[in-house]
Amino acid sequence: MVNFIQHAANQPRWAVEIWKRFNDKELTHSMAHYLQAVAGLKQDKGHARVGDIADRLGVSKSGVTSMLRSLSARGLVTHEPYGCVELTDAGRRLARRTESNRHVLTMFFTSILRVPQEVAYEDACMIEHLVGPESMIQFLRLTAFIGSDDPAAERFRTAFREYQHHCAGKEADRECPVCKEGRCLAETFPGLVGTFDEGPLK
């Protein structure tokens, strides 16, 4: 197991470079949802008009108009005034990808991490447009494999479930392969677990 603690060091230099890339991602969170709304409407009723999108997303029609201008400028939709909205090929690809991402992440959160459904939906929705394709394909592989009927996967599921149950009790246990030297997860990674279960702060 890689050393957790060592990596807990403060934000390194490169972090700044990455941080600044947040705002020039291909898609903002809003844009991703507009694209998905257009794709969904197209599928549901054959066409997407400004009012439909506004209803679906719960925003004003003027908001839709201005967002369509942005998406148009990026070549993701076409939209002549007072007409229907169409996805371009690039727009369609991005919409599909974002949906796939949310879908895979939701599966991962519910069936592997086993968090409550609402939590899974929320977390998946928040990050669906931010996780890169390399990681996404691996999320899919991991989810598919853990859920498969490969004997190693089946055994793993059982063992992991037992471990979680044990670990939730937070009792140090020399028998547990994750608890090192009788220190359970919470003590093995001091200051790490504790940061998670304080709940929302405000």
Partner DNA sequence: GAATAAAGTTAACCATGCTTAATATCCGGT
Partner DNA sequence: ACCGGATATTAAGCATGGTTAACTTTATTC
Binding site for DNA (CB under 7 A): 28, 30-31, 34, 49-52, 58-70, 79, 81-83
Of 28 and 100, which CB lies nearer to DNA in the complex structure? 28
Of 47 and 127, which CB lies nearer to its own copies in the complex structure? 127
The DSSP code for 111 is I
Angle at 195 between CA 192 and CA 197, to 5 degrees: 115
Part in contact with its own copies (CB under 8 A); list of ranges 46-54, 61-69, 79-87, 101-109: 101-109
Q: Where are the beta strands (DSSP E) in 83-189?
A: 85-87
Q: Which of residues 54-93 bind its own copies (CB under 8 A)?
A: 56-58, 74-75, 90, 93
156 touches, from DNA, its own copies, none (C-beta below 5 to 8 Å by class): its own copies
C-alpha distance from residue 171 to each of 1, 163, 167, 185 (Å):
21, 12, 7, 9
**What is the rounded distance in angstroms from the CA atom of residue 55 to the CA atom of residue 185?**
47
**Is residue 76 helix, strand or coil?**
coil
Q: How many CB atoms lie within 10 A of CB 26?
A: 13
Of 52 and 104, which CB lies nearer to DNA in the complex structure? 52
Verify binding: residue 150, its own copies, rule CB under 8 A: yes
Least distance from C-beta 38 to DNA, angstroms?
12
Verify binding: residue 47, its own copies, rule CB under 8 A: no
